[in-house]
Amino acid sequence: MGNGYFQRVAQQSPTRLWINNPTREEAKKAIAAGAISCTTNPTYAAKMLQSESERDAVIAVIDQVIKAKSDDSEAAAQIQRLAIKPLVEIFRPLHTAKQRQGFVSVQGDPFAEDDYTNIIDAALADRGLGENVIAKIPVTAAGLKAIEYLIGEDVPIIATEVMAISQAITVCKLYERACEKLNKRPPFYVTHITGILDEYLHNLARQEQIGIAKDILWQAGTIVARKQYRILKQRGFNATMLGGGARGLHHFTEMVGGDIHVTINWRGAADELLSQDPPVVYRMDTPVPDYAVRELLRIPAFKMAFAEDGLAVEEYADFGPVRYFRDSFEAGWSALLTVIDERRRAGSG
């Protein structure tokens, strides 16, 4: 093992790096730097269309798929799979069931997230890419049904779009019940989408003119993430917490020291931390100042995220930060659908 920042983090703590939405070259660099797994989301194909190194390959996939599939939504799902397939191959050598690494996550059509049968069908199709594919399923009413079914199929799962403590508790309890009932225990990760929650709360505080110091707002997502981490550990849930949605370097560095995996982008995040090469400092167990929590509780959305019973299951999908996150997925999926339509009109299919 080398002596770069993420390698030292792995040597000195249980914290591990995953890389998010990488190009093929970024994936290889990330593995060399210490990344053990990879996440993608429904914006992946659209992002690769904006990449100089990946665009031609994705266009070729689009032209191939639209010849076989007349339905644009079905085509988009298959294009996403084939765009991600090279990552599956790149991370496959790292994959072992015992060490639980080398995963590549796939998440399906964000416009179909309210249909649990669609989520299940997409996850099973995605698994056809390789044994190291892990299904990324939103913690919503529909997603919870899909997660329970997929546990019975022994499908590795990332429970995603988790912004609220109540979501994390609910999905962990479901996992334990389902594992006992179905006699299966696939690898299971529970996200906290820390940076997106931060971004949403920052925007909301500005819009609602809630005067809270930027220093306190800066801590909001990590405060909720730390509480979620403590609850998972204290209650003995058999889940690995996976930090996600990073929007700043602190969304990795503030998690260091925890038995937690964190996914960040290569460009502007992982590469920047490698360049800065900061010291490895345990921060996950940093005490949360009471005054900061009191201030943040003035924001209703923070209160709902922070309370153990802050949301009912039927409220998960439309919780402000969750909806905000999904909007970005829908925008990426729509951009892919637009290119599919353009290629059809141009006669490429």
Q: Is residue 46 part of a domain?
A: yes
Pairing status of strand 260-265 against strand 157-160: unpaired
Is 40 within the bounds of a domain? yes
For 170-192, the three-class secondary structure string (H helix, E strand, C coil) is HHHHHHHHHHHHHCCCCCEEEEE
Number of domains in the chain: 1
DSSP at 319: S
Other beta carbons within 10 angstroms of residue 303's beta carbon come to 13
Residue 326 belongs to domain with CATH number: 3.20.20.70
**Dihedral (CA of 144, 195, 203, 49) sign:** negative
Domain of residue 72 covers 5-344
CA 181 to chain centroid: 27
The whole model's pTM is what? 0.96
Return the biggest CA–CA distance within the chain: 62
Is 109 domain-assigned? yes
In the block, residue with structure tokens 């249909």? 115
Q: Could you read off the pLDDT tens digit of each residue along the chain, which spans 349 residues?
A: 679 999 999 999 999 999 999 999 999 999 999 999 999 999 999 999 999 999 999 999 999 999 999 999 999 999 999 999 999 999 999 997 667 899 999 999 999 999 999 999 999 999 999 999 999 999 999 999 999 999 999 999 999 999 999 999 999 999 999 999 999 999 999 999 999 999 999 999 999 999 999 999 999 999 999 999 999 999 999 999 999 999 999 999 999 999 999 999 999 999 999 999 999 999 999 998 999 999 999 999 999 999 999 999 999 999 999 999 999 999 999 999 999 999 999 886 5
Report yes or no on 349 lying in a domain.
Answer: no
In a domain, 103, yes or no: yes
How far apart are alpha carbons 264 and 77 in whole angstroms? 24
